[in-house]
Structure 1
Amino acid sequence: MHRLLSIEPSPTLRRAIERLLLERGYVVRSVDADDAAVAALDEELALGASAVLVGWEGVSPDVQAALADRLQQPDAQALALLVLSARPDALPAALAARPHTRVERLIFPEQVPGFVRSVLTLAGRPPPAPPRAALKVLLVDDSKTSRTKYRRLLQSRGYLVTACDDPQQALERVQAGGEAFDLGIIDYFMPGMTGAALCRTLRALPATADLPLAILTAAYADDVIRDALQSGATECMFKDESNALFVARVQGMARLREREQRLHEERERLALILDSVGDGLYGVDRAGHVRFANRAALRLLGHADEAALVGQLAHERIHPADEQGRPVGPDACFLQHAYELGDSLSDWQTVFWRADGEPLAVECNLRPQYQAGQCTGVVVAFRDITERKRFEAELQWQLQHDHLTRLFNRRHFEHLLEQEVIRLRRSTEQSALLFIDLDRFKHINDSAGHAAGDALLASIGRKLHARARESDAVARLSGDEFAVLLRNVDDHGLLALAETFRAILDDGRFVHAGREFEVSGSVGAIHLDRHTASPAYAMSCADAACRLAKQQGRNRIHRFDLSSDTGAVAELHQSWSQRLRSALDSDGFVLQYQAIVDLPGLPSEVLTGGDAGAEAGLRRAARAARHGQEVFLRLDDLGTRLQPKAFLAHAERFNLLPALDAWVLERIGAQLIAAGAGARGRYHVNVAAASLLDVGYVSKLEMLARHGAFAPGSLYLELKESDLAPQLTRLLPTMHALAALGVRFVLDEFGRGFAPLDRLRGLPISAVKLDAGLVQTLAHDPFGTTLVRTMTELAHAMNLAVIAPAVEDLATLRLLQSLGLDRAQGFVLDRPADPATVDDVLVS
C-alpha cells in the first residue's frame, strides 16, 4: 500500500484530493503548504512514503525554495514527485529535471488519481487496484439463533455485519456516530420495542433517515405487514422463507443502496467540478429563477453563498441594468427572453452587476437543459472579460494615436476628416481645417539630436491638445506637421481660433540639456462646408496655405482663398512633379545603407555600460553580427538630403512610385554587378504595392534576378502592412512568382494596423518588421512590452523572424533581446551611411 503526502495551499482542494486518493486505497496525509510542510516531508520519508504531491500555485517563495531543496537531497531521490502547476516554466530548472518527477496542469480534482498512477509508474511503483467497498448491514434480532444464522448468511455474501440483540443497543450504535450503515434488517417482535417502532425511530435520525430497512418476521398477519410497511420499511421478509430468497431480497436492497451511493457520489463529483471550474456557472428555470451557482459565480458576483441567489430572479439579482447602469425591465432584457425561450447563446458580451453595485464586463454562453424532451431551464457560463476589454481598448488607442505625442495619427485623422466632410454635405454648418508646420525644426533636430526633437514634438502635442475644444480633433501627421479639425466654426471665428494655436507655439522657449531654442510655427487654414470637394482636396489646400504662410515670413497664419490661392495648390503639385521627374532623369537620388543585426549574436557584455568605449564595442559587435542592411532612398534637393516622408506622398500622387522603386533596384544591381562574383549580402528594400502591380517594375526585377544580380535569398522586399492589405488578392500571384526566384518578403510596420494574424499564414513572407513608433516607446510602455512579446511568439509559431527598427538606446536593445526578437537596426547599432563611407557595403 502506497503512502502519499499531499502539500496543497487550498483547503478545499486539499480535502478533495485526499478524499479521491483514499477512495482508491492510498494512505494519504494532507498538509498545508506552509513552513511545516518540509517537516511533514521528513516524517513521511522516514515512514517510507512513495510519492509527494505539491500544489505549486499560491505557495510562498520561501516554502517553494525549501521544498525544492529538500526534494533534491539524496534520501529523497527515489520519491515520486507530482507538481500541480499552471505554469511549468515557473518551476526551478533543477527541480523540473529531477528523476521521477512530473509537472501537470490541474483543471479538475478528479484528474489527480490518474496523475498519481502515472508518476508512480514512472518511478517503478505500480499503484494498487481500487478496492471494492463492502456494504455494512445493521442486523437487529433478540434471538441469538436468528442473529447467528443471518449474520453468517450475509457474511458469506461479502457483507460486513454489525449484530445487535435489542433495539436499544442498535440505537446506541447508530447514535454513537462511529459507523455508517448501508442496510438495516430488523426483527419485528422484540421486547420493549417492535421492529416497526425502531424503524420509525431510525427514520427520524439524520444518519439513518434514508437507510434502506427491512422488517423480518415469522408472522404472516396483515396488521404486522401493514405496520412494517407504514413504518417506512423497504421490505417485509419472513423467517420461514428460503435462504436464497432472503439473499435475493437483500441483494435487491443492496443494489438500490449502491445506486443511491453512486448518485450521491455523482452529485458530489459534479459539485466539485462546478466549484473547480474557473468560469462562473449558474442555472435558471424557464422563468429565470436561479437554481444553483458555483463558487466562481459567487466570487465574481461578490456573494457569500448560494442563498443570496438561489430562488431569486437572475434578472433582478445579476443583470437588472445596461452598461450605463440604466434599469432594464424584464420585457426588454435579452437574457430573460433567452431563459423563457430556452435559447442557446454563444459568446454574448454584456454586463453583470455585483453585490456591491459595481459592473462586471462578462462574456457568457447559454445552453438549454432538457429532461424527457422538454426544456427545463438554462445553464449560463460566464467569465470576467474586464481585462480583455481594457486590452482591446488599448489596442484601439494604439491603432488611432501617434506613440510620441499621443495625438491622433494621420490615418485616423483622415478618417475623422472624411466623416466631417460627409456630415457637412447634409448640413448648413461650417467647420475648419488647420495645417501646422513647425519653423526650423530641422535645425533643432540636427544641432541637439533626435531626443531633443522628440521632446519638443511631445511638448507641442500636449499644448495643442490642451488648447483644443472638446469637439476638436488634433493629430500629428508626420515629422513636425500637425493638423487640427475645428468643428462648427464660422468665418468670424476661424482666424481667432487659428491664432490661439499659433500663439502656443510662439509662447515661451524650448530648453533641452541646458540649451535654449526658439520655437514657432506656420499655420494654414481652410473652411470646410457642404461644397468642400473631398478630404484630400481640403488637406492639399491647407498644406498649400501653410506653405504660403512660410513664404510670407513664417510664424504666421494664412487662410486659404479659393479665388487667389488655387494656383498655389497647382504650383505645389506641379513643383513636386517636376522635381521628382528631374531627379529620376539626372540621378538626383542617392542610396544610404544601415546594418540589420542578429540580436542573439550580440554578446551580453556589450549591452552594458554607456561610455564611449562601450559604444564603440557595441558598434564592433554589431558589425560582426550583421545579418544584412536596409537600403534607404534619399532625394538630393538644393543641397539638402530629403527623407522619403518628404516626397513619397507626392510620388504616389503622380504615380511615380514604380519608377522610384525601379531606380533603387537598378542602382543596387549595378553596384553588385560592378563588385563582381565575390559580392554577397542581404539587402532590405522598401517597395510599394503599386510597384508590384506594375508590369515594368516586375519585369525589371525578374530580369535582374535571372541574370544573377541578386542571388536567391539576398533581396528582401519590405511591404507595409497597410499597403498590402487592401490589394492582397491582386498582389499574391506576383509575390509567389517572385518568391520562386529567391526574392524574400518582409511585412513592414507590423502591429500598427493589427490585421488578422491568420492572414499571415497564406503570405510568402519570411519576416515581420515591427512598427517603429511601438519600438521607440517600448522602454517606458509595459503594455507595449506585452504586445511585442505576444506578437513575437505568434510570429515564431509561424516560422517568421521578427525585426525591430528605430532602436536608439541600449535599454531598448536589451529589452528587445530579452523578448526574443531576432534582428534589430537603429542608431544605437549603426547610422545610415553613403556607400563611399562604408568600406564593405557589398559584403555583409
Structure 2
Amino acid sequence: MLGIALVHAVLMTIFVYDLVERQSHFLHQQSLDQARSLARSLAANSTSWVLSNDVIGLEEIIDSQSTYPTLEYAMVINPDGRVLGHTDTDKTGFYLIDNVSKRLQKSNSLQVLIDNNRLVDIAAPVITNGNLIGWARIGLSQERISEGLQIVTIKGLIYTFIAIAVGTLFAYLMARGLTGGLRQLLTIADGITHGQRHIRANIDRHDELGQLARDFNQMLDTLNENEFKIWLAQEKLAESEERFNLAMQGTNDGLWDWDINSHTVYYSPRWKQMLGYSEQEITESRDEWTDRVHPDDRPLVEQHVKDYLEGNIEHYEQTLRMRHRDGTYRWHMERGIAVRDNKSKAYRLVGTSTDITEEKEIERQLFDEKERAMVTLHSIGDGVITTDEKGKINFMNPVAESVIAYATQDVLGKQLDEIITLKNEDTGDPVENPIRRCLEQGVVVDLEPDTLLINHREIGHAIEDSAAPIRDQEGRLIGAIMVFHDVAVTRQLTREMTWQASHDVLTGLINRSELENRLKKSLDSAHQDNEVHTFLYLDLDQFKVVNDTSGHIAGDELLKQLAFLLQKQVRESDTLARLGGDEFGVLLNRCNTDRALKIANKLRDAVNDFRFVWKDKAFDTGVSIGVIEINSKSHDIAGILSSADIACYAAKDLGRNRIHVYQPDDEELSQRHHEMQWVTHIKKALEEDRFILYAQSIVPVSPDSPYREHKEVLVRMLDQNNNIVPPFTFIPAAERYNLMPAIDKWVIDNAFFYLQKNPISITINISGNSLGDNDFLSHVKHKLHEYQIEPSNICFEITETSAITHLTTAERFIRELKKLGCRFALDDFGSGLSSFTYLKNLSVDYLKIDGSFVKDINDNPIDYVMVKAINEVGHAMGIMTIAEFVENEEILKTLRTIGVDFAQGYGIDRPSPLIG
C-alpha cells in the first residue's frame, strides 16, 4: 500500500506541474494577443503624427502605452528603420540595425518578430491610403508575466509536498480503506489534466484523506481565481486603452462614441460645450445628435453614415449644420472610425466634431468677393456696369463712366434705360437692354450685332456687349453685370477687310474671287436673258524679266502702274481684276466679240506703249490676251476661265503681245504648243520615278515657345538629265490637266516611307485637284495604316483658293483625317480674305499668312496691320499662325512683337533634299 501511496503522490506532482505549465501557456498566449492589440492600436493612432512628422505628439501616444504593466518598450519606426518615437526618448532619431528591422522592409502585414521565454515583440504596419509609412512595435516582458505565475507555482509545490508527505505518512492508513478516495482523486486529476477545470473532489471525511481532498479543492479554486483576475485585469486594461486611443484622435474637438448595439452614444463635455449645453443637459441617446442636424442636411448625413457602416465608402467624413442651443446653426466637420467584428460588421462608431462656422463664413465672403472680382478683372479696359437684382445701377468703372458721360454717384439706383439708348447702327431700330433680359431669364445675354450706344449728350459709340447674372453662394440671383467695349476701330477694320476680301491689296483691283462672283451673274444673265458678254484674260509678257533683274519690289510697282493704266482703258460698267501674279482679267458686260476686240487692242496698245523705269533701268512691256465670249452656250465659270487661259497661252505661243479669240478647236493647238509637252514630261517622270522630296524648316518665332520645329515637304521634278525642274514650271500644267493627284500620291507614299524610319513632324501640300479626287482620301488613309505613321506628325497644307473652290470636299477631307489625329494648315491666307467667311467652316490648326504681306511688313503699314489682324483672328479661333517669306532678322523681330507663332522663309532655312 505504501508503494501505491507513493505512486499517487508522484502523479499528484505531475498533475500540479502540468497545471502550472498550462497556466503559463495560457498567460503567454494572453500576452501575445495583448501585444498584437497594443501594436495595432499604436499603429492606428500614429498615422496622423507620422504624416505630419510631429515627434512630440507621437511620443505622447507612445507614452500612453507605458501604463501596461509588462511593457518592455514601445516604438514607431519608418520603413527604413529610423526611430520616429520611443518609450526611451534617447533612441528617437536613430536607426535600428537589428535583423528584425530588415524583415519589415519586405512586408506590410502584422509581424511576430520575437517570441521566446524572455520577450514578445509584435510589429503592426502604419498604413494610409494603401501606402506603408511606418511600423508600430510593442515589446512585452515574459519575465514580468512569469512573476504573476510564481505565486501559483509556489502554492502548487507546497501542496505537492504536502500531498507527498501525507501520502507517505498515511500509507498504512490508505491500505486500510483509503484506496477508494484516492482513486476518486486520481480520476479527478485525470479529468483536470484533460481540461476539466471546474470539477472538485467530493470526499466528506474528517480524516487525512478528507483534508487532502479539501486542500486539493482549495488549490484548484486558488488557481482559477488567479487566472480569472488576470483575465479580468487584461480586459479592463484593453477597454481603457481602446477608449483612450480613440479619444486621442479627437484631440481639442468634441468626441462622441456610438455603441451601435445598445443604441447609446457617449458625448464628451467639449462636444456639449460647442453646442452651448452643460454636462447634464445631454443624454446618451443618439437622437441628441440626429435632432440637431439641419433638416436640409439630415437625409444626406444619414445616408453617409449608412454607407460608411455598410462599407460602401472608405472614410467617414462629412460637413453638416448643427443646431446650437440659441437656435442658430453652426457648421461642423465630422470625422469618425468604425470598430468592426471579425465579420467586418460595425458595432461602434467613434469620432470627433469640429466647429468650422467661422471658416465657412470666411469662405462665403471670399466667394462673393471673388465672383465680383473675377468678372471685373476680366473686364479691364472695357466698360463695366453692375446692377442689383432689380436692375438698379450700383457700380460703373471709369471706362463706362467715360462712354456714358456720367459719374457713378450720379446714376446710383437708376435703371440703365434712364441714362442710355441702344440702337442698331445701320437701321436705327431700338435694341433691347440686355440687363433686363438677363435678370428676367437668369442667363448670359449677348448684345445684338451693330449696336450703337447713345449717351445723354447724344454721342454714339459702336459697342459689343454681354450681360451676365451675378449669384451668391446658394445660387440666388443678386444682380447682373454688363460688359461692353468700343468697337468703332474694329468695325472700321471689318469694313476695310470686307473691301479687301473682294479686292487685290497690291493694286486695289477686284480680286479673283469677286471676279468669279461677277462672272456667275453674267453667265446667269446669258442663260436667262440671252445676253452676250466677253471675258479677256491678260498675261504680261515681260514681267518675269523685271522680277528677276530688279526684285519683287520693282515687280510690285510695275503691277500697280499697269493696273492704273488698264483701268483707264475700260468702261465704268466693266470689271478689271487681278487674277494673281502678272495675270489680269476683264469682264466686258453686254459686249460681243467684235466690240471686245477693239477694247482688247486698246489694252494691248496701252501696255505696249508703256515704258517702265526702275532706278537706272527701263523695261518694255507687253501683254498676251485671250478672248472668250460668254453666251447661252457657255457652261460654267471654270470652263470660261480655262478657255480664256488657253486662248491667252495660244497668243503667247504665236509670238506674245498678241490677242487670240478662243474657238472650240483651239484647245488642241494650245496643248501642242505648250501644256501637252509638259503633260508628257510629267507622266514620264512619274513612270520613271523622277521626283525628289525637298524640305524647308518651319520654326517657332519666340525662343521661349513651347511648340516644336517642323518641316514643309516640297516636291521637285528631275528632267531626263537629272536636272532640277522648278515647281512653277510643271505644277501649273499638272494642275490644269489633273495630274496633281498622281504627284500628290507620290509625295504621300515617299514622305510616309521616310517618316516610318524618321518620326518627325512634317507638312505636306495638297492641291485642289486632289481634294476633288474621290480616291485620294482613301489613298491617304490606306497609307497611314500601311506605314503605321503617327497621324499627329502629319499636317496637310491646303491653299486658301483650293479650300474655297472645293469647300465641300475640303471640309470632308479635313473632317475625316482630323478624326485620325492629322492636322491642317491653310496656305496663302489673306490673299483673298474672303476666307474669313469660310474659316469657321474649316477646322484647321494653322494659318499660313500670305508672303506678300510678310515680306514688306517693316515698310508697309497696311501689310503690318494685315498680318496683325490675321494673327489675332487666328488666335481668337484657337488657330496657330505661320508667316511665309521671312527673309531677314528684322522681319522675324516684327513677327515676334506681333505674336505670330511660326516663321518660314529664306531668312530661316532654304529648301534642301529631305533625304541627304
TM-score by length of 2: 0.46
Radius of gyration: which is bigger?
2
| TM-score (ref. length: structure 1) | 0.49
